[in-house]
Structure 1
Amino acid sequence: MSTAAATSARDTGADEGRVRRLPQSWPLFLRIFALMLITVLLVQVLNFATLLLMPPPTPIIFSTTRIAAFARTGVDPARLLKTEISTRRPDPTDSPRDRRLGAIIATDLGLPASAVVVEAERSGRPMFADALRPPIPMGPPLGPRRHRNFAALENALFGPFVVSIDTGGGRWRVIRPNSAIMGPWRIRIILWFLVALAVVAPIAWLLARRVVKPIGQFTAAVERLGRDPRAEPLTLIGPPEIAEAASAFNVMQERLNRYVEDRTTLIAAVAHDLRTPLMRLSLRLEKAPEALRIATEDDIQEMSHRIGAAMAFVRDMTRNVRRQRLDLRSLAESVTDEFADRGDDVVLQAGDPLTIEGDVPSLKALIGNLVGNAIKYAGHAEVLLYRDRDTVVIEVQDRGPGMQPDDLIRAFEPFFRAEQSRNRDTGGIGLGLASVRAVARAHGGDATLETRPEGGLRARITLPG
């Protein structure tokens, strides 16, 4: 087995070992199950407390005498009865108790028994009927007082009922309870429900937050990694599912960084080794005809510059960066002041300080590349810095000739030059904008180019704020 294969196998084994070594904790499924179970138990406990502590509703009992008095006067002192006139003849009832109550009311009003129809059991057994029905005597005879109480209950109406009284001419006076939708008993139930909600909601919120907190931490760590590929590995403590995801993510990050470093080192080595054959070609051209020598030396010199620019680009992209809090406006002022000291036409629009987290040398080179391009191709540059919600925007614009739409798309490709001349002083190497985009994306942002409506170009850099 080759050394590279052995190293790869060893790294893979180490990565798999790191993935397996996970902190032991409750699985996320059990945490969610426990949360739901605790919440349901709390609700049931409160319901049981409601059953024990809150008294049942007390039925309102209407005597036949009270019904008859309300039929004569139309006034109920407690306002618990209501009446209306109907032309619909009520259906006769099949209940012996309803017929007996109707006859009692008719006798009290001095009307025939057929003139009063009571419907108290039309929708089923009356509520509390069993509770109010006299029990079957199982012991000594009941006393006279208890007999009178049960007799009074037998001659009373309770629950939903309708009493229809014939007033002549096909018209019937209908009397029924004036039951309120929100009675006292229902109000007590609603108040108890609100109390239960106030007790259960904070507990459920705290438990749910404890369950999802590791997921939020994992999301924030992944976002931080997207901004800085060389960020510290994730160190999350939580359910095994989250720990496994964090461990696998750390392994993936390490593999990606190792992959990029290997490819970058290969490119740098190739660029470095190309200088030796170029040097030999230069020495051999000394004996060539002058016309051929001059033309070839120009190509060799251009190739040497390209190799040097590529090595510098690779070196800048692979160096270790140190992120820190910085004032982007102060950094931009230092760059524009350097250009202004050389006599270049560059303006930085005034504004408030913009504090971000970034690498000072990289961001300074980014702004310097954009300002340098604007001055080179348009003769001047205008720099704007502002905050747009949760991002910071850097705009460098000019009033130059601009670029073709197709060139705007390819402008950030390495070694692309919109100026097609072979003169490096006017066309450059073609790595400036590629470096700009690489720095912006390494900070979690991006870089774009667009044509200004009034003419010229606008380079926009967006960075996390």
Structure 2
Amino acid sequence: MGRRLYARCRSDPALKFRPRLWPRSLSGQMALVIAAALFVAQAINFTLLLQERQRARIDGATGPVVGRIADAIERNTFGDPSRSDRGRVRSVAVSPVAPGGEHRPDIERSLRTALSEAGIKIGRVETEVRTLAPDDQRLRYTGKERRERFRRAGGELMIAVERPGRDWLVLSVPWFRGEDMIFWHLVSQTIVLYIVVLVPVLVAARQISKPLRALAGAARGFRPGEPAEPIEGRGPQDVRDVIAAFNALRLRVTAMLDEKDRMLGAIGHDLRTPLAALRVRIESVEDETDRARMADTIAEMNRTLDDILSLARLGRPSEPPTEVDLAALVEAVVDDFLDLGEEVAFEERARLRMRLRPSLMRRALRNLIENALKYAREVEVQLAEAPHQVTIAVCDRGPGIPEARLNDVFEAFTRLEHSRNKDTGGIGLGLALARAIVREAGGDIMLANRAGGGLTATITLPR
């Protein structure tokens, strides 16, 4: 069965296993939502800060350059072309900017705009970021580590401005690549923000989800009639209100079931009294055939009444679970049928200790065997043991049941008249009662048609 289910899951696209990205717990969902919101907010913040930083760096680099060029042109004072003094405007014939160097088009556009607004006629504007040489005299007073950091950060920005038909004005200014530094600064800021925000959120969500998990466990473990302590109200007031409502609901449900049991007991007593009186009165009937039929009718009414009361009271069994030998229990039920002259086969097995309600389990097995004997002369009962479960199979060679209606027979008051003998007795409660008993014990009953004809009813119980 496991292989068939696995193959079906592999072949059905709707049942294929996919990784779970959305957490199921409340704390996980809250943490994921807040983490995603923080990520979006920080991404927007990153973008705005980087843009603002870039604009500030460009303005800081172009503003003084425009002032120095304008002042040098106005006073006609240019530095020595053979030297590369930082900040001095030099006049050269050819642009010293290397074509394959690291250019800054954004600074070039900003300089062209600023110089045009200052009334200076220019041609091309070229820039190049240069790394300072290890023996650069401007680094002679800095430490080794700081000097290397300056060299990796860029060092200086070479700017060349063409005056059409005349010369190139060249100067260099300090320039450092600060994008990496601000990026890692923002990353560390985000990590701190995540820790500061997510940790309290996870703690608060856990305080909310813990009482909710306790409430869910109490709801799953609720058994009418069994003593249970009320759940302690913890967490926020909303959660406390839910827990208090569940405690009150459990009391109301228990009270309603108690009232139902009292009503069913009264109904059973009121019905059995006239049936007992009828059983006494039919003794005066002279015709033995009529008297036997009347007695059978009264016995059938008593069995039906027992089934109805048992099915209605099954949720609150009075019999406590005990340690029993399941093999001996099955053998005792089979012996009862053998004493009645029925052909029921069972192979004796070793002791099999299990904890269950023996009277109810005996009744469930008896119902299955009776149901099989109605449609077949011979019935075989098999008991098998597996590592984590025990199975009891009741096999017959009757007409079987259509595949489409194998589950319908477990509904109360359901009889498949078209698939089985119409003359059989009962009102359709035997299988319903058997499944209810087995499920109350934590197991289940499955029906399957046998190869060659017949039906197999399998009880599966956990160990």
Q: Give the TM-score category using the shorter length.
A: 0.5 to 0.7
Please show how residues 102-251 of structure 1 align to structure 2 within 5 Å.
114-117=122-125, 183-198=180-195, 200-225=197-222, 228-233=223-228, 235-238=230-233, 239=237, 240-251=240-251
SS in 1 for 2:96: helix
Which residue identity lines up with residue 439 of structure 1 in the other structure?
I
Are 1:459 and 2:457 an aligned pair? yes
Separation of aligned partners in 2, 1:454 and 1:163 = 97
Residue in 1 that maps onto 2:379: 379
Residue 433 of structure 1 corresponds to: 431
How far does the alpha carbon of each residue in 1:334-370 deviate from its partner, in whole angstroms, 9 at most, with x for none? Answer: 33444677694336999xx998x75343234334543
Taking the aligned partners of 1:180 and 1:451, their CA distance within structure 2 comes to: 78
Q: Which amino acid aligns with 1:284?
A: S
- 1:223-372 residue pairs with structure 2 within 5 A? 223-225=220-222, 228-233=223-228, 235-238=230-233, 239=237, 240-286=240-286, 293-310=287-304, 312-313=306-307, 316=310, 318=313, 320-321=317-318, 324=321, 331-338=325-332, 344-346=344-346, 359-370=357-368
1:441 is displaced (CA, Å) by 4.7
Check whether the contact 2:367–2:434 (CA below 8 A) recurs between aligned residues: yes
What is the identity, as a one-letter code, of the residue corresponding to 2:261? E
Query: Are the aligned partners of 1:374 and 1:380 in contact in 2 as well (CA < 8 Å)?
Result: no
Distance 1:84 1:374 in 2: 91
- Partners of 1:74 and 1:259 in 2: how far apart? 98
Q: Is the partner of 1:208 in helix, strand or coil?
A: helix
Q: Deviations over 1:235-259 (max 9, x none)?
A: 1122442233213312331243134
Give the deviation of 1:394 after TM superposition: 4.6
Q: CA 1:284–1:371 in structure 2 vs 1: closer, same or farther (change >3 Å)? A: closer
Paired amino acid for 2:279: M
The secondary structure found in structure 2 opposite 1:458 is strand
Residue equivalent to 1:3: none
The one-letter amino acid of 2:96's match is R
Q: CA 1:92 to 1:363, structure 2 compared with 1: closer, same or farther past 3 Å?
A: same
Query: How far off its partner does 1:195 sit?
Result: 3.8
% of aligned pairs identical? 16
Change over 3 Å in CA distance of 1:386–1:339 after alignment to 2? same
The corresponding residue for 2:412 is 413
3-state DSSP of counterpart to 1:379: strand
The verdict on how the C-alpha distance between 1:179 and 1:315 changes in structure 2, with shifts beyond 3 A counting, is same
**Count of aligned pairs between the two proteins:** 333
Partner of 2:114: 95
**C-alpha spacing 1:303/1:348, structure 2 compared with 1 (3 Å):** same
Please give the alpha-carbon distance, in whole angstroms, between the structure 2 residues aligned to 1:92 and 1:184.
Answer: 25
CA distance in structure 1 between the aligned counterparts of 2:219 and 2:450, rounded to whole angstroms: 36
Q: Deviations over 1:138-185 (max 9, x none)?
A: xxxxxxxxxxxxxxxxxxxx9xx99676699xxx9xx9989576x122
Distance in structure 2 (CA, Å) of the matches to 1:461 and 1:395? 5
Q: Which residue of 1 aligns with 2:9?
A: none
Q: Secondary structure at the match of 2:122?
A: helix
Q: Which stretch shows the higher mean deviation, 317-326 or 358-367?
A: 317-326
2:97–2:158 CA contact under 8 A, matched in 1: no
CA-to-aligned-CA distance 1:408-456 (integer Å, 9 cap, x gap): 624653595954446xxxx678653232133135456654534345532
The CA deviation at 1:193 is 2.2
The amino acid of 2:303's aligned partner reads: A
Moved more, 332-341 or 242-251: 332-341
**Residues in 1 aligned to 2:386 and 2:442: alpha-carbon distance in whole angstroms:** 17
Alignment check: 8 A CA contact 2:401 2:455 kept: no
Alignment of 1:12-91 (within 5 A): 72=96, 74=98, 82-83=102-103
The whole-number CA distance in structure 2 between the counterparts of 1:209 and 1:307 is: 57
Greater relative CO, 1 or 2 (CA 8 Å, sep 6+): 1
Structure 2 letter corresponding to 1:213: K
Residue 83 of structure 1 aligns with an amino acid whose one-letter code is H
Q: Structure 1, residues 40-95: CA drift from partner, whole Å, max 9, x if none?
A: 9xx9xxx9xxxxxxxxx9987869666999x626499xxxx822899xx9698443
For residues 220 and 207 of structure 1, the distance between their equivalents in structure 2, rounded to whole angstroms, comes to 21
Letter in 2 for 1:212: S
Q: Deviations over 1:376-407 (max 9, x none)?
A: 7342133456699xxx6856252512434468
Distance of 1:178 and 1:454 partners within structure 2: 89
Q: TM-score, normalised to structure 2's length?
A: 0.53
Q: How many angstroms apart in 1 are the aligned matches of 2:325 and 2:285?
A: 47
In the alignment, the residues of structure 1 paired with residue 159 and residue 461 of structure 2 have an alpha-carbon distance, to the nearest angstrom, of 80
Unpaired stretches in structure 2, ≥5 consecutive residues: 1-26, 43-52, 66-84, 128-153
Q: CA–CA distance in 2 between the matches of 1:92 and 1:195?
A: 39
C-alpha RMSD over aligned residues? 5.5
- Distance in 2 between residues matched to 1:348 and 1:439, nearest whole Å: 24
Cα 1:264/1:440, change in 2 over 3 Å: farther
Contact map agreement 1:234 1:250 (CA 8 A) in 2: no
1: distance between equivalents of 2:436 and 2:303? Answer: 15
The 1-side partners of 2:186 and 2:203 are apart by 26
